[in-house]
Amino acid sequence: AGLAGPRATGQADQQAVAFLVDVSDSVTPELRERQLGWLREAMDGMAERDQAMIVAFGDQAVVERPLVPAAGRAPIQSIASLVGGGKTDIASAIRLALATMPSTMARKIVLLSDGNENVGKAIDQARIADAARVPISVVPLTPQPGPEVLVRQLETPTFVREGESFSATVTVEANGDTSARVHLLADGRLIGSQNVDLTQGTNSIVLPQEPLGQGFHLFRVQVESRDDGFVQNNEGGSYTVVTGKPRILLIEGETGETRYLADALRSAGLELDVKTTAEAIIDLPTLRGYESVVLANVPAAQLSATQMGAVNSYVQNLGGGLVVIGGEKSYGVGRYNRTPLEEALPVRMDLRGRTLSASVALVLVIDVSGSMAGGPGSSKMDLAKEAAIRATELLSEQDQVGVLAFDDTNKWVHQPTFLTDQPAVQAAIGTLAPGGGTAIYPAVEAAYQAIAPLEAKVKHILLMTDGLAPNGPYDELTQQMRQNGVTLSTIGIGSDADFGLLRRLADLGQGRYFEGNDPFEVPQMVVKDTQEVARAAIVEEPFRPTQVGASPILEGIDVAQMPPLLGYVSTTPKPTSQVLLISKEVDPVLSEWQYGLGHVVAWTSDAKNRWAQDWLTWPDFSRFWAQVVKRTIPNPVDRNLQVQITPEGATARVTVDAVTDEKTYQNFLETRATVVDPTNAQSQLALPQVAPGRYEGRIPITTEGAYFLNVVQTSAEPGAPGAQGSAPGAQNWASRPAGFVVPYSPEYRDLRANPELLHQLARLTGGKIMPDPREVFALDQPATGQPRELWPWLLALAALLFVFDVAARRLRLGWMDAELAWAYVQDRWLGRAQRAAAPAAAKLLAAKGRISLEGAGIA
């Protein structure tokens, strides 16, 4: 029985009380003082064995004071926990209390709040508390009404045509008559202000607007009033899309290099904004105002990872178009490999499947002498390792890389081999450690001997050192290098390097010399040198493009009459892309594909007077580029797809109504939305059908700001009217952009207390409403059953019986012995009691006899 773990349930004689204190912004300072006074009075009623804890909550719940007995509590001066007050999450506070209080004690929860819940569902947590027999008593806090002005809504039309005037309508609520000043901003720019008189209740203010330029416009309204409590709720937001001619954003790598392309696109009637990467604002809200983005000879170094991610998301999730035009700083040469930009393109930057003659062989010769341990901040050794690792990131699998470390001797860290395992090479570089002297010539000679026999189009040695070294027969060595097509670049690290020798070696080696007085510049120097080496991806020879695929891009254009191009950047087409034009080396020159919701075109030559100089006078130059860009422009907004978004507390309800031109419902369509929140985080939302032609879903509201959506409906029926190819087995039925603005937290929208919710929590769990603080610790609630282990008692009983069992077996006792033992017990213990009782029994019998005789008349 002891092994089975039996338990018995008893009653706990201790209780634990969790006080949940609302510190959200809707609880005024006066109410917080009332909370503290109530808590102090309740704590004074604690018994010695009782325990109490305090949980502070607003947008989250934290333990203000852990569960401690009465003897260990300190006086309550204030609530010190730093909790965001922009929301009220009662559910998280109840959840935290239930998880913290031990089940071996009788448990209670006391909630001090105004009940203005706007995150989570306290009712759900109350049901859990009720199942655990934990009552929730409530102390409702009712704020005293003060002057308040809040913006309930800002409305602007979702779509207007270019040149069309419209009005913005502001809904303002006031709890008393007052005056205010209203400011309206478009895209962060003040466009109007107006003084207004507000009456108690709801006020509608109409602000007429002049026509705005084409594109996406974000509006904000701000209301200022002297009679106001919370300023957080004095803002509203909305957006409007002004439609017209498609707007194109043309981003150029260098100022003026797209002048021929820009003239060609404008002559075709396209609205064009031309900017350099330094001038352009490359984020989702800005890109959304354009139908397509053109990147012309833009290296990845001019774009941040966030900007490239924004371009990727603009195409994939919002359905924008993208055209990438080549040049000497683009594609693989421009370090597009393994970036969000390469992910969006129909071509890869590596040259898989090509012959070795198109590859690069690079040997990094790195000084690991003792002086490399110095340097400000990070050591020169660490910076050299970082530089070497970044160099490997610029190369592809068909390239060969070697790493040679030297001090007063040479050591191959990685023999020159194909870069099929980049992490292994980078890990080997990471093992470099400084120590020893400096011997440059033997290291350069060893690198040359290793690289000379390799089969590669480009053979290059890069030397990095920070010190002086004995001279050597460099003239003879570099002459052999030149004869065998091996180039040498040098980088002097720090102020102690032999700059004269290194400059001379670079000149003799037909390479580049870098003077790194600031060691932190070394990684960028290595990147620049490796980029120049990687120009092997550039093919500069005249050719006429050959057509291998059909597309609207080439409609009406005689490909046979295209002028020759003088160069391009080699790339590899991705499996699902469509190649339209190729070079005589069968490299893609023009290719396209559908990337998510958007279309992307890749042109690997340029559009200026270098490789395309003969194209500038070609009669179809303007037509060709206009058709390239128009190929990526998304279809106009489908007016038969209506999207309505309604914020409701912590979520926003998205309602989509789909009809045909005949106004009949469109049913059984797969409907989804790509959502971009104010932090540019993206998510996918499924919208299931809930009624004829109606689809709904909910978006979690995580923060204040503008939310952008792109709603797409697809049908499995091929050939659906107006469909576009989107995914295998599906057709795009319709798409429509949408959005909404959350100007402030719901904490400041509903400022009235919600005692009904608090009463419901108390009734559901058997708690009290507005309990006397002195009676909180009274044992007036059934204690939670406390399970007690029985196995120690059963084990002791088994041990006692075991002793009797052993005695019985050894003494060989029988039934006769048991009867004798029982007789002894009777005589010894029971007999004594019987003898003591005998006189009393005799007296009782005598009395009984006398009574009987008297009853018979015998005296």
The CATH code belonging to domain 356-533 is 3.40.50.410
Neighbour tally for 659: CB within 10 Å: 15
By CB atoms closer than 10 A (0-12, 13-18, 19+), residue 98 is middle
Domains 2-143+753-786 and 641-741 share a fold: no
Range picked from 267-281, 339-353, 379-393, 465-479 for highest mean pLDDT: 267-281
**Amino acid in position 172:** V
As given in the structure block, the two tokens for residue 40 are: 């102090």
So what's the pLDDT on residue 319?
87
By CB atoms closer than 10 A (0-12, 13-18, 19+), residue 169 is middle
Fold of 149-243: Immunoglobulin-like (2.60.40)
Look at 265-269, 444-448, 717-721 and tell me which has the smallest mean pLDDT: 717-721
**Amino acid in position 516:** G
Q: Which residues pair with 330 in a beta bridge?
A: none
Look at 128-137, 180-189, 347-356, 362-371 and tell me which has the smallest mean pLDDT: 347-356
So what's the pLDDT on residue 176?
92
C-alpha distances (whole Å) from 352 to each of 335, 518, 571, 601, 741 are 16, 38, 9, 21, 47
- Spatial distance between the Cα atoms of 292 and 284, rounded to a whole number of angstroms: 13
So what's the pLDDT on residue 724?
34
Top pLDDT among 737 and 63 is at 63
Asked if pLDDT for residue 859 goes beyond 50, the answer is no
Top pLDDT among 727 and 439 is at 439
Give the three-state DSSP class for 387.
helix
Range picked from 91-105, 776-790, 801-815 for highest mean pLDDT: 91-105
So what's the pLDDT on residue 327?
93
CB 741 within 8 A of CB 236: yes
Asked if pLDDT for residue 704 goes beyond 80, the answer is yes
C-alpha distances (whole Å) from 264 to each of 87, 178, 271, 273, 626 are 54, 58, 11, 13, 7
Asked if pLDDT for residue 238 goes beyond 70, the answer is yes
Element (H, E) at 217: strand 215-224
- Spatial distance between the Cα atoms of 484 and 510, rounded to a whole number of angstroms: 12
Neighbour tally for 801: CB within 10 Å: 10
pLDDT tens column, 157-201: 988 888 888 999 999 999 999 999 999 999 999 999 999 999 999
So what's the pLDDT on residue 729?
38
Asked if pLDDT for residue 394 goes beyond 90, the answer is no
As given in the structure block, the two tokens for residue 697 are: 């879903």
Asked if pLDDT for residue 595 goes beyond 70, the answer is yes
So what's the pLDDT on residue 794?
74
**Domain 2-143+753-786 sits in CATH 3.40.50.20:** no
Look at 40-44, 238-242, 520-524, 709-713 and tell me which has the smallest mean pLDDT: 520-524
Backbone phi, psi, residue 821, to 5°: -65, -40
Asked if pLDDT for residue 21 goes beyond 90, the answer is yes
Asked if pLDDT for residue 839 goes beyond 80, the answer is no
Asked if pLDDT for residue 807 goes beyond 80, the answer is no
Q: Which residues pair with 184 in a beta bridge?
A: 192, 221
Residues 96-108: what's their mean pLDDT? 92
Give the three-state DSSP class for 344.
helix
Asked if pLDDT for residue 718 goes beyond 60, the answer is no
Q: Which of 69, 66, 133 is nearest to 100 (CA)?
A: 66
- In order, the DSSP letters of 307-328 are HHHHHHHHHHTT--EEEEE--T
So what's the pLDDT on residue 219?
95
So what's the pLDDT on residue 728?
35
So what's the pLDDT on residue 324?
98
No. of helices (H) and no. of strands (E), the chain: 18, 42
Asked if pLDDT for residue 609 goes beyond 90, the answer is yes
The domain locations on the chain are: 2-143+753-786, 149-243, 247-349+540-632, 356-533, 641-741, 813-859
As given in the structure block, the two tokens for residue 59 are: 């947008």
Top pLDDT among 387 and 322 is at 322
C-alpha distances (whole Å) from 384 to each of 217, 297, 402, 814 are 48, 29, 15, 96
C-alpha distances (whole Å) from 814 to each of 23, 112, 824, 825 are 79, 74, 16, 17
So what's the pLDDT on residue 153?
93
Top pLDDT among 713 and 495 is at 713
Residues 369-391: what's their mean pLDDT? 77
CB 184 within 8 A of CB 193: yes
**Amino acid in position 823:** A
CB 21 within 8 A of CB 58: no
**Domain 247-349+540-632 sits in CATH 3.40.50.880:** yes
Range picked from 233-247, 253-267, 380-394 for highest mean pLDDT: 253-267
Asked if pLDDT for residue 720 goes beyond 60, the answer is no
Asked if pLDDT for residue 726 goes beyond 50, the answer is no
Rounded (5°) CA angle 138-139-144: 140
So what's the pLDDT on residue 145?
80
Asked if pLDDT for residue 723 goes beyond 60, the answer is no
CB 280 within 8 A of CB 251: yes
Residues 443-472: what's their mean pLDDT? 88
pLDDT tens column, 329-354: 899 878 787 799 999 999 998 765 44
Residue 445, Cα to own-chain centre: how many angstroms?
A: 50
Residues 480-509: what's their mean pLDDT? 87
Q: What is the mean pLDDT of the chain?
A: 85
So what's the pLDDT on residue 14?
80
pLDDT tens column, 500-548: 888 899 889 888 888 876 656 666 777 666 666 655 568 889 999 999 9
**Amino acid in position 134:** V
pLDDT tens column, 686-695: 999 999 999 9
pLDDT tens column, 668-690: 999 999 998 988 888 999 999 99
Place of tokens 């609520």: 173
Fold of 641-741: Immunoglobulin-like (2.60.40)
Residues 404-427: what's their mean pLDDT? 91
So what's the pLDDT on residue 722?
35
> Cβ contacts of residue 723 below 8 Å, gap of 6+?
715, 731, 732, 733
Residues 610-633: what's their mean pLDDT? 96
- Spatial distance between the Cα atoms of 774 and 779, rounded to a whole number of angstroms: 12
Top pLDDT among 1 and 125 is at 125
- Spatial distance between the Cα atoms of 661 and 663, rounded to a whole number of angstroms: 5
pLDDT tens column, 59-92: 999 999 999 888 777 888 899 999 999 899 999 9
